[in-house]
Amino acid sequence: MAVETAFAKINLALHVRRREDDGYHGIETLFAFAEDGDRLTLRDTPGLEVTGPFAAALTEGDNLVTRAAEAYATLTGAPLAGFRLDKRLPVAAGIGGGSADAAAALRLLCARDGVDPNEARIRALAADLGADVPACLLSRPLRGEKRGDSLIPLEGVRAGMPLLLVNPMRPLATGAVFAHWDGVDRGPLDQGDPIEAARKGRNDLEAPAIAILPIIGDMLSALADQQGVILARMSGSGATCFALFSDDAERDRAADAIAAGRPDWWLMRTRLR
């Protein structure tokens, strides 16, 4: 039985440069991915079964996994497949949950049929599903530009770097956060070493997200106050925040301290892949 991980996505930095005429925003971002995430199992029978701790948060009907399966079948003429989704990541959380799930579905289908997921037609299908799906299809460090789907491979992000994800167990809609962006272009994202560029950079969606959900500011402060933090930031449009650490022990001490103080928050101890 074929199984894929839908790797959690983080944005090491996210600069919003402009709003385009089509309603999308031009951005510059640094994508990285955790070793962990949702788990997707390929099935012969069409349809989607959802299990796991966050299964109840998914609405009935339209889902990016089923949309990916249907689009792939239409594109390739292959049989329509089904999936079992073990939903381990919070929904509407800024860590690419739905996009990562769709990307994992495409990887499973390509592997089943001997199709290279780097083919132009598969990349175009991924882009049609959502701006983050092409990056999630690759699930490796990338610089994203335009809508975030113009991708450049990144060197210098160390695989295995300890990572802590924190979420307040409250969803946050991407559209609402972008709608609160003040429209100010605060400048480009640096080139060069991606971790240093991220530390010098920012997430332009943090301020509008905090305006909607102030607890995000509490999470960022809690992470930044921990020992050994290399970078603490909100991911995507929130509400998940993350911190990178130099070693597992520092990450685990931080996780223990935050969990003790805020047992109502969701935590994931993982590493960069």
Residues 98 and 54 in one domain: yes
Residue-number span of the structural domain to which 59 is assigned: 3-153
Beta strands in the chain (DSSP E): 3-19, 25-43, 47-51, 82-86, 142-146, 150-153, 162-167, 229-234, 241-245, 266-271
The whole-chain average pLDDT of the chain stands at 96
Task: State yes or no: pLDDT of 197 exceeds 80.
Answer: yes
CB count within 10 Å of CB 32 equals 29
Residues 59 and 142 in one domain: yes
Q: Is 217 helix (H, G, I), strand (E, B) or coil?
A: helix
Q: Which of 105, 134, 153 is the last residue of a domain?
A: 153
Q: Note the pLDDT of residue 149.
A: 85
| Residue pLDDT, tens place only, 58-90 | 865 568 999 999 999 999 999 999 999 999 999
State the pTM of this model: 0.95
Q: How distant, in Å, are the alpha carbons of 2, 103, 157, 172, 178 from that of 273?
A: 20, 16, 9, 26, 28
Q: Which of 102, 126, 153 is the last residue of a domain?
A: 153
Catalytic residue among 9, 36, 87, 101: 9
| Residue pLDDT, tens place only, 5-60 | 999 999 999 999 988 777 678 999 999 999 999 999 999 899 999 999 999 988 65
**b/e per residue, 81-110, with b = 16+ CB within 10 A?**
bbbbbbbbbbebbbbbbbbbbbbbbbbbbb
CATH number of residue 95's parent domain: 3.30.230.10
Q: Is 154 helix (H, G, I), strand (E, B) or coil?
A: coil
Q: Note the pLDDT of residue 60.
A: 56
Catalytic residue among 38, 132, 149, 204: 132
Residues 199 and 84 in one domain: no
Torsion of CA 140, 202, 177, 212, to 10 degrees: 130
| Residue pLDDT, tens place only, 92-151 | 999 999 999 999 999 999 999 999 999 999 999 999 999 999 999 999 999 999 988 899
Residues 9 and 136 in one domain: yes
Residues 42 and 129 in one domain: yes
**Cβ pair 157, 32 in contact under 8 A:** yes
200 is catalytic: no
Task: State yes or no: pLDDT of 183 exceeds 90.
Answer: yes
Q: Is 129 left (phi over 0), alpha (psi -120 to 50) or beta?
A: alpha
CATH number of residue 202's parent domain: 3.30.70.890
| Residue pLDDT, tens place only, 100-110 | 999 999 999 99
Q: Which of 153, 171, 198 is the last residue of a domain?
A: 153
User: Closest Cα to residue 181, out of 71, 4, 19, 3?
Assistant: 19
Residues 59 and 136 in one domain: yes
Q: What number is the average pLDDT over the span 239-248?
A: 97
| Residue pLDDT, tens place only, 222-240 | 999 999 999 999 999 999 9
The total number of residues shown for the chain amounts to 273
**Cβ pair 212, 234 in contact under 8 A:** no
